[in-house]
Amino acid sequence: MQFPSLIGIDFAGTVIRIGPGVEDFAVGDNVFAMADNAYAELCVVKGGRPVEGPEGARFD
């Protein structure tokens, strides 16, 4: 690991924005995924990486 660096390899949360061509997710969907440097307030990943989280899951 080289510093400065972020840590974390997974995340769970709510979609707040989607990019062009993303059809599998919508703003407000609960998702989780593996991603490098995920220990952060916001995480950007390619559309094919996250999966839908369980309905009713809370992230607070």
Tokens of residue 36, six digits: 């490098």
Cα distances from 53 to residues 1, 11, 20, 43, in angstroms, run 30, 11, 22, 16
Q: How far apart are CA 30 and CA 27, in angstroms?
A: 9
- Write down the domain spans for the chain: 1-45
Q: What is the pTM of this model?
A: 0.71
pLDDT tens track for 2-54: 777 778 888 888 899 988 988 888 999 888 888 877 888 888 887 667 788 87
- Which residue's entry shows tokens 């440097």? 37
Q: For residue 54, what is the DSSP state?
A: P
Residue 16's pLDDT is what?
A: 92
Q: What distance in Å separates the CA atoms of residue 51 and residue 24, rounded to the nearest whole number?
A: 9
